[in-house]
Amino acid sequence: MNDEMKYARWRPHPWHGLEVGKNPPDLVSAYIEITPFDLVKYEVDKTTGYLRVDRPQQTSSLPPALYGFIPRTYCGRRVGELASKAEHGDGDPLDICIICERPINRAELTLDVKVIGGMQMIDNGEADDKIIGVLVNDALWQETENIHELPEILLDRIEHYFDTYKQLPGEEKKAWVERKYDRAYAGKVIRAAMDDYLEHFGHDGPEPQS
């Protein structure tokens, strides 16, 4: 079958059925769960692969960028070992924020992303890293190579969102951004998450549900 005739007979599972990217860890794929316009936190259901409502946001905080995950990654032992204040990885695919010029207000889509850095987040003692990238061929951001090239106010907004989006008045803070890191270190985190995935699920991922 030639390339023009290849297609998925059934919808691939976003986590296990899509490719990690064209040239990881520098160029990766991202599956979008949340847009900057969402007041509800959506999350892929790990069994069906469909988007489900995780929770309505209880504060006025809005995501400052497109937010989703890198397919065929898993935050397990290796990702946890990269975070000195984490007990282990959070057991989810590796999260990613994507910066682009034009507003994208739809979720459940895939993007090609150039990785430029990330933020190490600790959530209830678990490593919950947030990779940061720019949309490939974006008219405004495509020349960005590293996280320090982004405007400081944009990085502050991303960090503030993850520092506070689970925080409710009167409750103890259990999630925070420990530090920001550059493109080279982001590559280490992505490779660790890819290796964690292979160790946890095997080469082809989990068996489909019958």
Q: Give a yes or no: residue 4 inside a domain.
A: no
Q: Quote the CA–CA distance of 144 and 124 in Å, as a whole number.
A: 32
- SS3 label, residue 166: coil
Task: Report which DSSP code applies to 101.
Answer: S
Q: Give a yes or no: residue 210 inside a domain.
A: no
Q: How many residues does the chain have?
A: 210
Residue 130 CB contacts under 8 Å (≥ 6 apart), including other chains = 95, 96, 97, 118, 119, 121, 158, 162, 177
Average pLDDT, the chain: 92
Q: How many CA atoms lie within 13 A of 140 on its CB side?
A: 7
CATH number for the domain spanning 141: value is 3.90.80.10
Each residue's pLDDT tens digit, 39-89: 888 999 999 999 999 888 777 778 899 999 999 999 999 999 999 999 999
Q: What are phi and psi of 115, to 5 degrees?
A: -75, 135
User: What is the total count of domains within the chain?
Assistant: 1
Which residue range is the domain that position 137 belongs to?
Answer: 16-201
Each residue's pLDDT tens digit, 170-200: 778 888 999 999 999 999 999 999 999 999 9
Q: Quote the CA–CA distance of 176 and 70 in Å, as a whole number.
A: 21
Q: Quote the CA–CA distance of 92 and 53 in Å, as a whole number.
A: 16
Give the residue with greater pLDDT, 11 vs 66: 66
Each residue's pLDDT tens digit, 83-126: 999 999 999 999 999 999 999 999 999 999 999 999 999 999 99
**Tokens describing residue 102:** 């034009």
